[in-house]
Amino acid sequence: MAKLQGEDAWLAIARILRPRGRRGEVVADLLTDFPERFANLKRAFLENVEAGPQPVEIAEAWWHQGRLILRFAGVDSINQAERLRGRLLLIPRRERVPLGENRYYLWELIGCDVLCRGGKTRLGKVTDVEPTGGVELLRVQADVPGSPEPVELLIPFAQEICSEIDVGSRRIIIDPPEGLLDLNEERNA
């Protein structure tokens, strides 16, 4: 397997919370929208800040009272499990679950250029995606020549506004309703 470099090469799918039981099992917090992946997942990687992600064999994975329980090959005691506390369970980004048409991982949107109507006017670059409980907001670092402070635009990530999304080409074309960009100007004033 080719060695993956950089944090962008990995996706965290769980965080180890604490040991459970006497045989080295751990309780993990789920960090993926696809919990079914654990039914067949046999190999993953444990976060290791000094040496980079370390491969780990998942001997068992099951659910107990709504929590994910994991047992790793070679981790057979409470003490060994305790050393895993707080570490992330990672998979290579290329192993992510494919999404359907017009569906995107939020992290795929970060770094995309945002262009206005027809793709001719560049507004800026997506720096973050803010969940709101409804429609997510794209945080866009706007291109404002001569501005002493960075200008941030908030663009609802709605199909009616974000008319074309091409994460492969790293661009989002928006068709903002009348007044949306004016609201952002007022917010930044």
114 shares its domain with 82: no
pLDDT in tens, the chain (189 residues): 334 444 458 989 999 999 998 899 999 999 988 899 999 999 999 999 888 899 999 999 999 998 999 999 999 999 999 999 999 999 998 888 878 787 888 888 999 999 988 767 888 999 999 888 888 899 999 877 677 777 888 999 998 999 999 888 999 999 888 877 766 665 565
3-state SS, one letter per residue, for the chain: CCCCCCHHHEEEEEEEEEEECCCCEEEEEECCCCHHHHHCCCEEEECCCCCCCEEEEEEEEEEECCEEEEEECCCCCHHHHHCCCCCEEEEEHHHCCCCCCCCCCHHHHCCCEEEECCCCEEEEEEEEEECCCCCCEEEEEECCCCCCCCEEEEEECCCCCEEEEECCCCEEEECCCCCHHHHHHHHHC
Whether 39 maps to a domain, the answer reads yes
Instruction: Say which CATH number the domain at 114 has.
Output: 2.30.30.240
Domain boundary among 61, 95, 129: 95
